[in-house]
Structures are given as structure tokens and as C-alpha cells.
Amino acid sequence: MISLGKRGLKIIVVGAGKVGDTLVNRLSEEGHDLVIIDKNVDRLTELANLCDCMGVIGNGASHEVLEEAGVSSADLFIAVTESDELNLLCCTIAKQFNKNLATIARVRNPDYGKEIPYLRSKLSLEMIINPEYEAAVEAARLLYLPAAILINSFAHGSAEIVKIKIPEGSVLDGKTVAYLGSNYTNDLLIVGVERGDEVTIPNGSFELAAGDIISFVATRKVCHSFLKSIGFKTNSVKSTIIIGGGKSAYYLADQLIKTGIDVKIIEKDAQRCDELSELLPKATIINGDGINEALLEETGIRDVDSVVALTGIDEENIMLSLFARQISKGIKSVTKINKISFTDVINRLDLGSVIYPKQITAEAIITYARAKRASIGSNIEVIYHLFDERAEAIEFKVMEKSALTDKKLKDLKLKPNTLVSCINRFGKIIIPTGNDFIEVGDSVMIVTKNKGFSDLTDILR
């Protein structure tokens, strides 16, 4: 368990499904006091025992159940059942017990998409999160920049952490990190290198090698320019096949079509195909089983730039991406993983980019929870877990003067494996050197292998 030196929040989580399971595990590691509510006795008992927290059997919208869970003294209430309506109802009723209670609801139905600001306002919700929509946004970013394995956005989209793999014969092979700054650009910073099972936050003397997976911070413009200069393709894909016609597929296709990308969707449920045809008149909707090799060939899998596997079955998604990459060299593949937790095994497969909707949800809520118990000196805006949760990238808003402000970075004594990687100063992105400093009003991104920072001053020794 992580000890942050501050009181953990009392948090009630309604729903012990895939998202609830991930969320409870992460929040337990953060040191919060957790209560889980679910109707499924076996699932509830297993999760409560695993995370050493209290479990309450029943409906999260029931007065009696909420009283038993201690809602009147809770700090945060999170509803992540399979039903959007139940999640909203749970939050509304919980708020009646405790006016100071912060509430978060998972809402996935596209029909509610345009009403989220209204719902948040009228129901006094701190957050409405839609894992399928956020997964689609992440998939779209990867299709717009297919050279990237992963892209995380910071500074309200002005800066990104981009992950790429150094291929054989690359100009980066054998070059030091300092060489990149001298010969390519100083406007990016390498924040992590994955080599086999090792993760390193490198200094200037670190020598890169073919096969390394590197993560760097830059603005989108600099990122494209840098990738192009080292031989990567930076053009967006022009066509894609989406396999699986669920909510994520709709959200993704809607985004891609608006940017002129040709979209085909394969969905085996005929009724859903009819719905998608009405919702997405510019997409080609194909009724059939996406795991059928002959159908994929007929649909033109060898001719498209990208394949996105979004079925509800992880094993199918994995097989589809492996098949696509085997028959079409250079194809961009994106694989959605819902349940499988064998991360080490998945990382060893040639799947291209992998997205985890449940992790996207968990990170957004952990960001809020850490911010809620942080001091007033700084506030957390974004958290991403990097390198299979072996490091974190955290964006802090600097609210007041502290031991960190108005001093050159080279004069600060930072904890080991901690890097100040980006400063957003009123919209201007600064990739810092030792001579830069942090000011009140800045947003500062930290990359660290330490866990649990909730205040910017936590980076100091």
C-alpha cells in the first residue's frame, strides 16, 4: 500500500464488475478506505477479501444499503454498474444523505453524450466518465499518428507523451539521448526507455539501441517533425476496418469519418448493423462474424491502412490483430483489452497498440481522488500510469509559492527516478533544462518511478 502522508479518503464504489474491480484494486493501493456495494455475493466477497475492504450486498440505490455502507461519512461515491440510469440514480440518492459528498458516475450510452454538462450540473456530479468514448478517443489518436504505440495527452492537449519502438537500422540505434538534443531538437525530452524487462528514466549519456521502446514528451508539431526526421511515417491512416460494432466502434467511427477516413465496420448482430447504418450513413456496415478469415479477405483487410479490434471478447481481438499484422506488413493495428490481465504476455505479442478502457476509467478517478486529498499548494490535473504501471506521469497545477518555485531546476534535490518533463506556462510549452524554473500558475508534468505523489512538493527528497 502507498502511504502519502495524508488521510486516505472514505470511498464507496457501487459495482464490482470489470471497471469496479480495476478501480477498487487501484484505490486500495492508493491507501483509501473502501466500501464496495454489489448484488453479486460471490464477486463482492472475492473482491472485498482481495483488497481487504468492506463489502455490502445489495442495490446501491437503496437507502438501507447506503446507510449500511456509511454514505453519510463518505468523501467520494463512485457508481460503475452496467446500467447508466442506475449509476445516475445511485449518485442522486447518495447526495441526499451527504451534501458534501463528491459523486462520480459511469455513463456510456451515446444518447446521453450531449447531455453530460446538463446532467453534471443538475445532479451535482463531480465527474461523468464514459470508458467507451475515452477508448475511442485514444484509438483515434493512434490512427492519426500510426507510428506511435501509445499517446497520452497533457496540458489540455498541447503536449503529449508518445511511445515508439526503435526499429533495426534506425538512425537512433547507438546514439545517446544528448546526441538527439544536439542533432535533432531540444524541444522534446525522452522520459523513459523500456529495454526487455527494464525501465529507465535516462540521462543524457544513456545510449539507445534498436528494439528499445522509448517514450518522449513534445508538442504535437514537434513530435511529427521529429518522427519524420528519423524516418517514421507521420501521415494519418486513410482507411480502417473496425471489427465489432459496440459503443466504442460508434464513437470511433464518428470521429474518423469527420476527418475523412474511410471506415468499414464488421458486426455480427443484424439489428445492431441496422442501427449503425442509421447512425453512421457514411460508413460501410457489414453484417458478419469478424473472426471469419474469408469475410476479412472479402472486406479488404489486405488493402486498408489499419484494423481496430473492438469486439467484446479479448481473445478474438488479440487473434484479429495478430492475423492482420501477419498478412499485411505495415498495417496499423489497435487492440481493445477488457478483461485479460496477463500484461507481460500481451506485451510480448505483436499486437501494435493496445487500449484498456477499464484502466482509462480508473486513471481518471484516481486523478480526482489524489487531487481531493492533496494540499492547497498544488493540484493534480492528470495522471497516467506508464510502462505497465511501473511509473507515473502526473500533471500538477502550481497554486502557490513553495520550496520548488522560482529556483533553477538544477538546484532542486529531486527524489531518484524523478524527472520534471514539461512546463505549461499560460499555454506556452517548455521542455525544461536545468536552468528553467517553476512559477506559480504553471502546470508541471512529472515522470517518476516513485508511486503515490499527490502534491508537487512530493518530488523533493
Q: Is the pLDDT of residue 5 over 70?
A: no
Identify the CA nearest to 329 among candidates 305, 362, 312.
Answer: 305
**141 DSSP 8-state letter:** H
Q: Are 394 and 445 in contact (CB under 8 A)?
A: yes
Residue 195: pLDDT over 90: yes
pLDDT of residue 2: 40
Which residue has cell 536545468?
A: 434
Comparing 2-6, 27-31, 194-198, the range with the smallest average pLDDT is 2-6
Taking the model in full, what pTM does it have? 0.88
pLDDT at 113: 77
- Would you say the C-alpha torsion 408, 410, 414, 420 has a positive or negative sign? positive
CATH top class, domain 239-355: alpha beta
* pLDDT for the residue 379: 80
Q: Whole-number mean pLDDT of the chain? A: 92
Mean pLDDT of 432-459: 93
What are the domain boundaries of the chain? Answer: 10-129, 135-229, 239-355, 367-459
Q: Taking residues 389-410, what's their average pLDDT? A: 92
> If you average pLDDT over residues 342-366, what whole number do you get?
85
Closest CA to 71 of 107, 30, 35, 21: 35
Say what the pLDDT of residue 378 is: 63
Nearest-angstrom CA–CA distance, 276 and 302: 24
The larger pLDDT score, comparing residue 51 to residue 284, is at 284
**Which range, of 175-184, 265-274, 283-292, averages the lowest pLDDT?**
175-184
Structure confidence at residue 377 (pLDDT) = 59
Output the CATH code of domain 135-229: 3.30.70.1450
Average pLDDT over residues 402-414: 94
Interatomic CA distance for residues 365 and 245, integer angstroms = 27
User: How is domain 367-459 classified at the CATH fold level?
Assistant: Alpha-Beta Plaits (3.30.70)
Do the two domains 10-129 and 135-229 of this chain adopt the same fold?
no
What does the pLDDT read at residue 385? 87
pLDDT at 374: 64
**Does the structural domain 10-129 have CATH classification 3.40.50.720?**
yes
**pLDDT mean over 186-205:** 93
3-state secondary structure of 365: helix
Q: Residue 348 pLDDT more than 50?
A: yes
User: For 417-443, what is each residue's pLDDT tens digit?
Assistant: 999 999 999 999 999 999 999 999 999
The band of 376, judged by pLDDT with boundaries at 50, 70 and 90, is: low
pLDDT of residue 1: 34
361/311: higher pLDDT: 311
Q: Find the mean pLDDT for residues 394-399.
A: 93
Residue 63 backbone phi and psi in degrees, to 5: -60, -45
pLDDT in tens, 52-71: 999 999 999 999 999 999 99
Report angle CA 452, 457, 461 to the nearest 5 degrees: 85
